[in-house]
Chain A
Amino acid sequence: MSKKNEIIAEIKNISKNFGVTVALNQVNMQIRRGEICGLIGENGSGKSTVMSILSGMQNATSGEMFYKGKIWKPSNALEAARNGIGIIVQEIGTIPTISVAENIFLGNYDRFRRYGMINRRQMYKAAQLVLEKLNIVGVDASATTDTYSIEQRKLIEIAKVMANNPEILIIDETSTAISETGRQVLYRLMHDMASQNKAVVFISHDLEELMEHCDALNILRDGCLIDHLEKENFVAEDIKEKMIGRKLTGNYYRVDMDGYDSEVVLRADCITTMEDLMCFNLELHKGEILGIGGLSSCGMHTLGKAMFGLTEVIDGQVVLTDGNVVIKNPKSAFQHNMGYISKNRDTESLEINASIGSNIQSTGFEKNKWFGPFISAKKEKKYAQLMVDTLAIKCTGILQPVKALSGGNKQKVVFGKWVGVDADILILDCPTRGVDIGIKSAMYQLIYDMKKKGKSIILISEELPELCGMSDRLIIMKNGKITGEFFRKDGYKNTDLIECMI
Chain B
Amino acid sequence: MKKIISSSQNDRKVKLKFNDMLDIVKNQRMFSLFFPFAMLLLIIALFSILTKGSFCTAGVMKSIFNQSMIIGTLAIGMTFIFTTGDVDFSAGNVMGLAAAVGALVYQNGQNIVTTICVTIVMGILLMLCNYTLSVVLHIRSAMVAIIGLTLYASITQQIVGAGTLRIDYNLCRNLESGAFRYISFMLFFGLCLLVYYWTPIGRQLRFIGGNVECARQAGINITKARCIGFLLAGLGIGLAGVYQIIRTGSVSSSVGNGMGMDVMLATVLGGMSIFGGAKSNAYSGFTGALTICALNQGLLMVGVPSTVIQGVRGVIFLLLVVLNSERAATLPSRQQF
Interface of A with B (CB < 8 Å)?
Answer: 15, 17-23, 25-26, 42-45, 49, 52, 57-58, 61-62, 76, 222-223, 308, 310, 330-331, 333-335, 340, 342, 347-355, 358, 361-363, 365, 370, 373-375, 377, 394, 399, 401, 406, 409, 417
A20 touches B217 (CB 8 A): no
Give bound CA distance, A396 to B329, whole Å: 19
B217 touches A223 (CB 8 A): no
Give bound CA distance, A76 to B220, whole Å: 42
7 closest residue pairs by CB, A with B: A334-B219, A44-B1, A351-B210, A354-B278, A365-B200, A21-B2, A351-B211
A333 touches B14 (CB 8 A): no
Cross-chain contact of B331 among A20, A26, A57, A347 (Cβ < 8 A): A57
Residue of A nearest to B7 (CB): A20
With a cutoff of 8 Å between Cβ atoms, the chain A residues found around residue B211 in the complex are 347-348, 350-352
B206 touches A20 (CB 8 A): no
Instruction: Give B8 Cβ to nearest chain A Cβ, in Å.
Output: 8
B1 touches A342 (CB 8 A): no
Cross-chain contact of B1 among A42, A52, A375 (Cβ < 8 A): A42
B219 touches A363 (CB 8 A): yes
B2 touches A44 (CB 8 A): yes
B5 touches A355 (CB 8 A): no
Chain B stretch 176-230: residues in CB contact (< 8 A) with chain A = 194, 198-200, 203-204, 206-207, 210-211, 213-221
B3 touches A330 (CB 8 A): no
With a cutoff of 8 Å between Cβ atoms, the chain B residues found around residue A17 in the complex are 5, 14, 16, 20
Please tell me if B277 contacts chain A, counting CB pairs below 8 Å: yes
Give bound CA distance, A361 to B278, whole Å: 13
B203 touches A362 (CB 8 A): yes
Give bound CA distance, A364 to B24, whole Å: 31
With a cutoff of 8 Å between Cβ atoms, the chain A residues found around residue B62 in the complex are none
On chain B, the number of residues with a Cβ less than 8 Å from chain A's Cβ atoms is 42
Please tell me if B9 contacts chain A, counting CB pairs below 8 Å: no
Given contacts A17-B20, A340-B217, 13 further A-B contacts (CB under 8 A): A18-B20, A20-B4, A20-B6, A44-B2, A52-B330, A351-B207, A351-B277, A352-B211, A354-B278, A355-B278, A358-B207, A363-B218, A375-B203
A354 touches B206 (CB 8 A): yes
With a cutoff of 8 Å between Cβ atoms, the chain A residues found around residue B217 in the complex are 308, 310, 330, 340, 342, 348-349
With a cutoff of 8 Å between Cβ atoms, the chain A residues found around residue B199 in the complex are 373-375
Please tell me if B138 contacts chain A, counting CB pairs below 8 Å: no
A15 touches B330 (CB 8 A): no
Cross-chain contact of A62 among B4, B14, B206, B215 (Cβ < 8 A): B14
Give bound CA distance, A76 to B330, whole Å: 12
A358 touches B206 (CB 8 A): yes
With a cutoff of 8 Å between Cβ atoms, the chain B residues found around residue A377 in the complex are 198
A331 touches B24 (CB 8 A): no
Please tell me if B279 contacts chain A, counting CB pairs below 8 Å: yes
Give bound CA distance, A361 to B329, whole Å: 26
Give 16 CB contacts A-B under 8 Å: A15-B12, A17-B16, A20-B5, A21-B2, A43-B1, A222-B1, A310-B216, A310-B217, A348-B214, A350-B214, A351-B278, A365-B203, A365-B204, A375-B203, A377-B198, A406-B2
B277 touches A353 (CB 8 A): yes
**Given A353-B278, A354-B277, CB of A15 within 8 Å of CB of B213:** no
Instruction: Give A398 Cβ to nearest chain B Cβ, in Å.
Output: 12
With a cutoff of 8 Å between Cβ atoms, the chain B residues found around residue A352 in the complex are 210-211
A22 touches B219 (CB 8 A): no
Give bound CA distance, A60 to B8, whole Å: 20
Cross-chain contact of A330 among B194, B200, B219, B329 (Cβ < 8 A): B219
A354 touches B20 (CB 8 A): no
Residue of A nearest to B208 (CB): A351
**Given A19-B27, A335-B219, CB of A347 within 8 Å of CB of B1:** no
Give bound CA distance, A331 to B329, whole Å: 34
A349 touches B1 (CB 8 A): no
Instruction: Give A458 Cβ to nearest chain B Cβ, in Å.
Output: 15
Please tell me if B23 contacts chain A, counting CB pairs below 8 Å: yes
Please tell me if B29 contacts chain A, counting CB pairs below 8 Å: yes
Instruction: Give A16 Cβ to nearest chain B Cβ, in Å.
Output: 9
A362 touches B220 (CB 8 A): yes
With a cutoff of 8 Å between Cβ atoms, the chain B residues found around residue A409 in the complex are 1
Cross-chain contact of A58 among B5, B29, B216, B330 (Cβ < 8 A): B330
**Given A17-B14, A20-B4, A61-B14, CB of A362 within 8 Å of CB of B215:** yes
Cross-chain contact of A358 among B6, B24, B213, B278 (Cβ < 8 A): B278
Cross-chain contact of A375 among B200, B214, B219, B331 (Cβ < 8 A): B200
A373 touches B214 (CB 8 A): no
Residue of B nearest to A224 (CB): B3
Chain B stretch 16-67: residues in CB contact (< 8 A) with chain A = 16, 20, 23-24, 27, 29
Query: Which of A23, A45, A362 has the largest number of chain B CB atoms within 10 A?
Result: A362
Cross-chain contact of A353 among B3, B12, B279 (Cβ < 8 A): B279
A347 touches B213 (CB 8 A): yes
With a cutoff of 8 Å between Cβ atoms, the chain A residues found around residue B200 in the complex are 365, 373, 375
